[in-house]
C-alpha cells in the first residue's frame, strides 16, 4: 500500500507509520468551543506521540429534519477553521458538499472530505481531487452506507484519472453499512478489502454507531446513537488494519448541537487513544 505524506506537516499515513488521529467536533458551534476542543486533543496526541488533525464541519447538509442545526456555513466556518489552525499549528479536515466548494475548502483544510451519501457523485469527487492535487492535500472519502468495500475501486479510479502519474491522494473511510431500519453495522473485513485498493483506510467510529433517524429525544427528528460502541468499533478497526481514526468529542456530549448520542466526552480521549496506539503498534509491528 502506498503511503501519503501531508505537504507542510510532518504527517504520513500508511504502513509503518503512526496511527493518524482525525478528531474534533461534529459541527462547528462557536469559535471558543472549537479552540478548547482542539487544544485539548492536540495536547493528548502530543503526549501519546500521535499525529493530529483537527476535524469539524462547517455545514451538515444531510440532517434528518429541516429544523436541525447545520452549522455556521462556508464563509464563517472556514474562518473559524483557519483561526484554529493558526492558533495551534495543526492541519484540518472538513467536508464539502458541492463541486463549487472544493477549491475554497482546500485553501483552508489540508484534508477535504467527501460525505458518505455523495461518494458516487463523479463531479464532486473530481473537483475534490483537483483541489487537493493543486495544494498537496488529501481527499478523505467516506464509504457510503450502501456501498460494498471493493466497489470503492471506482472512487479510487476516478481520482487517478485526475491525478495521472502523480500519487493518488485518496484515503477511504469506513463508517458502517445500512442493516435493516435505523441501524448500521461495520464489517471489519472491509478494512483490508479497501486497503487492497492501494490506499490508506480510516475508521469513522463515531458515525458507525449512529441510529439514523432514531433519536427518541426528537421522536425520529434526528439521528440517535450508541456512544458506548465507539471505542469497540475503533479498537476493532485498528486491529483489522486501519491506518487512522476519525472521532468526535464534546465538552458536554448530550448538549452537542449535532449527533450528540454518538460523540464522546473529551475526558474519554486520552485513555481511548492510548489503547488505539497500543493496538496499532502490535498490528503494525512497530
**Selected catalytic residue, list 26, 142, 158, 204:** 26
The three cell numbers of residue 191 are: 478494512
- Give the DSSP letter of residue 18: P
**Number of Cβ within a 10 Å radius of residue 206:** 26
Sign of CA dihedral 204, 205, 211, 215: negative
Which candidate in 60, 142, 143, 195 is catalytic? 60
Distance in angstroms (rounded) separating the CA atoms of residues 28 and 158: 30
Annotated active-site residue 60? The verdict is: yes
CA distance 185 to 121: 23
* Residue from 79, 96, 101 nearest 35 by CA: 79
DSSP three-state, residue 241: coil
The answer to whether residue 26 is catalytic is yes
Residue 26 is inside which H or E element, if any? strand 20-27
From the candidates 59, 215, 243, 259, which is the catalytic residue?
259
Q: How far is CA 113 from CA 44, 87, 130, 274, 280, in A?
A: 24, 22, 13, 26, 24
Tell me the three state secondary structure of residue 2. Answer: coil
CA distance 112 to 74: 13
Tell me whether residue 32 is one of the annotated catalytic residues.
no
Question: What residues are labeled active site?
Answer: 26, 60, 259
Amino acid at each position: 500500500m502506498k503511503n501519503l505524506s501531508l505537504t507542510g506537516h510532518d504527517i504520513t499515513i500508511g504502513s509503518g507509520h503512526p496511527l493518524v488521529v482525525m478528531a474534533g467536533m461534529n459541527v462547528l458551534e462557536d469559535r471558543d468551543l472549537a479552540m478548547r476542543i482542539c487544544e485539548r486533543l492536540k495536547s493528548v496526541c502530543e503526549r501519546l506521540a500521535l499525529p493530529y488533525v483537527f476535524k469539524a464541519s462547517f455545514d451538515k447538509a444531510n440532517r434528518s429534519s429541516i429544523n436541525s442545526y447545520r452549522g455556521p456555513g462556508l464563509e464563517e466556518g472556514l474562518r473559524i477553521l483557519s483561526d484554529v489552525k493558526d492558533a495551534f499549528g495543526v492541519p484540518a479536515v472538513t467536508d464539502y458538499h458541492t463541486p463549487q466548494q472544493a477549491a475554497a475548502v482546500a485553501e483552508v483544510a489540508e484534508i477535504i472530505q467527501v460525505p458518505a451519501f455523495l461518494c458516487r457523485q463523479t463531479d464532486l469527487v473530481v473537483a475534490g481531487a483537483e483541489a487537493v492535487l493543486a495544494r498537496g492535500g488529501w481527499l478523505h472519502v467516506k464509504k457510503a452506507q450502501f456501498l460494498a468495500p471493493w466497489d470503492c475501486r471506482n472512487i479510487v479510479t476516478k481520482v487517478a484519472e485526475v491525478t495521472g502519474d502523480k500519487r493518488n491522494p485518496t484515503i477511504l473511510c469506513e463508517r458502517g453499512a445500512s442493516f435493516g431500519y435505523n441501524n448500521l453495522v461495520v464489517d471489519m473485513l472491509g478494512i483490508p478489502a479497501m486497503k487492497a485498493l492501494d490506499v490508506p483506510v480510516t475508521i469513522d467510529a463515531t458515525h458507525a454507531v449512529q441510529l439514523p433517524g432514531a433519536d427518541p429525544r426528537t421522536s425520529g427528528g434526528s439521528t440517535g446513537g450508541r456512544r458506548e460502541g465507539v471505542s469497540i468499533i475503533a479498537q476493532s478497526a485498528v486491529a483489522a488494519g486501519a491506518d487512522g481514526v476519525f472521532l468526535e468529542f464534546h465538552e458536554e456530549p448530550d448538549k452537542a448541537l449535532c449527533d450528540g448520542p454518538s460523540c464522546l466526552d473529551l475526558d474519554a480521549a486520552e485513555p481511548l487513544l492510548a489503547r488505539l496506539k497500543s493496538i496499532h503498534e502490535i498490528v503494525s509491528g512497530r
